[in-house]
Amino acid sequence: MRLIDEEGKILLVNDAFCRIFQMQKEDLIGKPFSIVYDESEQKEVLKAYQKDIQNNKIKTLFERENTLWNGIRVWFEFTNSFLVLPD
C-alpha cells in the first residue's frame, strides 16, 4: 500500500510495498511514486498520473507492465482508492 498526493509524491508506504520494490521507507517517503520504476519510465508514468489528476480521470483499476529501478520487468494490477484528508 502506498499513499500519494495529487502531485504524485509518496506520503506513506507499508512494509509490504517496501518488500515488493526492494526499497526502504526512508528512500521512498517524499519522493515521486515513479522512483520505483526504471529511469527511462519515471517521467512518463508521473506525467500520466498528474494529467489524470488534473482532468479528474484517475483509473481505479488497471494493469500495466513496468521495469523496476533494479531492471526487473513486472506486471502490476493497480487498484486506486481516493481519500480527502483534512488540512
- The 10s digit of each residue's pLDDT in 2-47 is 999 999 999 999 999 999 999 999 999 999 999 999 999 999 999 9
Distance (Å, whole) CA 44 – CA 46: 6
The pTM score is 0.86
pLDDT of 86 reads 81
- Separation between Cα atoms, residue 76 and residue 64, nearest integer Å: 5
Indicate if the pLDDT at residue 56 is higher than 90: no
Tell me how crowded residue 65 is: count the other CB atoms within 10 A of its CB.
Answer: 8
> Are 73 and 65 a contacting pair, CB within 8 Å?
yes
The residue count of the chain comes to 87
Name the CATH topology of 2-79: Beta-Lactamase (3.30.450)
Contact (Cβ atoms closer than 8 angstroms) between residue 13 and residue 2: yes
